[in-house]
Amino acid sequence: MDYAIALGIGVGLDFVLGDPRKMPHIVKLVGMLAVEGEKRLVASLGRSVFAGLILWLGIAAICVGGYLLLAAGAEALGHWAKLLLDGVLLFQCIAYRDLVKHVVAVKRGLDRSLQAGRQRVSWIVGRDTERMEEDDVCRAAIESGAENLNDAVIAPLFWFALFGPLGALLFRLSNTLDAMVGHRTARFEQLGKVSARIDDALNYFPARLCCLLLLKLNEARHWRRLKGDAVKHPSFNAGWPEAAMAKRLGVVIGGRMYEKGKLVQTAEMNQGARQPGRADILRATELMGVAYAKCLGLILAAWLVAGVL
């Protein structure tokens, strides 16, 4: 019951407030710790895998220790203070409203001009956007929405359902560290390896659950058929929700894109389907909302069954 109340608080705050930029936030804290930790560890241990392990463990210890201290203080004030703390923590671990806002902003930008659409999509993708055609912009927005539905919504809820606030916290800090140091570059290839592998492990089951949630109920039994598309993605986790989204929308995901000024042809998911358009961006956000609702219902049902057992 306590977790259900905290879940309601967290989801409610996200729905009402979104992602306020000026408030203290877990992601900001992890970011600052990562920058400072990189400086200190590289100076003493170099850009090694061991340094990356210490970086992850150190930040995890600080965040978990900080939460436990706050939780003890909240319990001293009263049980409702602890529930509020857990709800606020979950609120900072999910970002459904902000995700939908940024994806819809791409469609609204395209309604004004192609250039405005390119500018809006540049806020949510890392690829070059200057030479994108309209279908490229639509495809990038849909891909980003599908991938981040898992990272920003389904995965933190999954770990919250299993292990409560600490589960959501550990996922969020792991995902943030992966975004900061988990890159295959000379700077981060070794230092970020641990963060990247932990994030892969924590996303394994949620990504496949996200795929199932995006499908219709009568399609769920065929989700393994999407494996052929999912494995085309460079990330063996991100490919699952993207493949499901492509299937539900009946559009192609992947293909032509620009990186570092060069045209790159990536593997296509749902090959042979039509190219996405502006209406598909809105339809994708609708499917994201349905998947979100299914996830919340599934969590509550699982808790109910566990309570009965």
Distance CA 211, CA 17 (A): 27
Residue 282 has pLDDT above 80, yes or no: yes
pTM to 2 decimal places: 0.91
Distance CA 228, CA 241 (A): 13
Report yes or no: 269 and 246 within 8 Å, Cβ to Cβ.
yes
Average pLDDT over residues 226-231: 85
Report yes or no: 302 and 13 within 8 Å, Cβ to Cβ.
no
Task: Say what percent of the chain tops pLDDT 90.
Answer: 63
* Confidence band, pLDDT 50/70/90 cuts, at residue 203: very high
Q: What is the pLDDT of residues 258-277, one digit of tens each?
A: 777 777 778 888 888 999 99
Residue 289 has pLDDT above 80, yes or no: yes
* Confidence band, pLDDT 50/70/90 cuts, at residue 309: very low
Write the CB contacts of 180 (distance below 8 Å, at least 6 apart in sequence).
30, 31, 34, 192, 195
Write the CB contacts of 193 (distance below 8 Å, at least 6 apart in sequence).
49, 52, 182
Identify which has the larger pLDDT, 55 or 182. Answer: 55
Instruction: Tell me the H-state helices in 150-275.
Output: 155-181, 193-214, 227-230, 239-249
Q: What is the pLDDT of residues 115-142, one digit of tens each?
A: 999 999 988 887 888 888 899 999 999 9
Residue-level pLDDT at 126: 77
Residue-level pLDDT at 233: 82
